[in-house]
Amino acid sequence: MSAGKILSLIATAVAIAMVIGLYLAPKLREAEYQAALERQRETKNVVATASEPASSIHTRAAFIEREADGHYWTRADVTGTEVKFMVDTGASIVALTYRDAQRLGLKPEVLTYDSEIRTAGGVTYGAPVTLDSIRIGRVEVESVNAVVLRSELEQSLLGMTFLSELNSYEFRKGQLIIRQ
């Protein structure tokens, strides 16, 4: 075999290795990641890994679907009680309706509504509380600052006092992915 043929074979092998390393391998990793995400679906609104070991980076992720109204809605376990939240990255704090506060046993009728809250609709007052925990799938944040509103709120809001405790959150293809 001549030196030219050997160099040609080596160049071809290097080119194939580069294609595999630079193009195909990342595509395969992304395909494996997407397949793992699909296997993780628990419900329509929340997806969380349950079968992977606790040391896996994906065991502490949840996926929240965008609903037809364009908002991201989820059901969360708040200290053992299910609460439906609308995710609101514009809300600096988790906000609870009076009714949800009652369901959580917070006794909103005796709370002190002295915290000024500025909203798009103006200024209102809320009662500060600390929730023991909020869990969505396998993502759980403890000691979450929140506020209870008397009547100004139709739906509880999952605000930044929860979201800022996460490692990350991102919006991708109609899903909000939260990671801890």
- pLDDT, one tens digit per residue, over 46-71 is 544 443 444 444 468 999 999 999 99
pLDDT of res. 45: 47
Which tokens hold the place of 67?
Answer: 């609903």
pTM recorded for the entire structure: 0.68
Annotation: CATH topology of 46-179: Cathepsin D, subunit A; domain 1 (2.40.70)
**Contacts of 67 by beta carbon, 8 Å cutoff, 6+ apart:** 73
Report the DSSP pairing between strands 122-136 and 61-65: unpaired
**77 confidence band (pLDDT: 50, 70, 90):** very high
* Closest C-alpha to 76, from 30, 139, 129: 139
Nearest CA among 131, 126, 127, 119 for reference residue 165: 131
What residues does 41 pair with on adjacent strands? 47
Cβ neighbours, 10 Å, residue 166: 17
Quick one: which of 88, 132, 87 has its CA closest to 106? 132
CA atoms within 13 A on the CB side of 61: 24
For the chain, domain boundaries: 1-39, 46-179
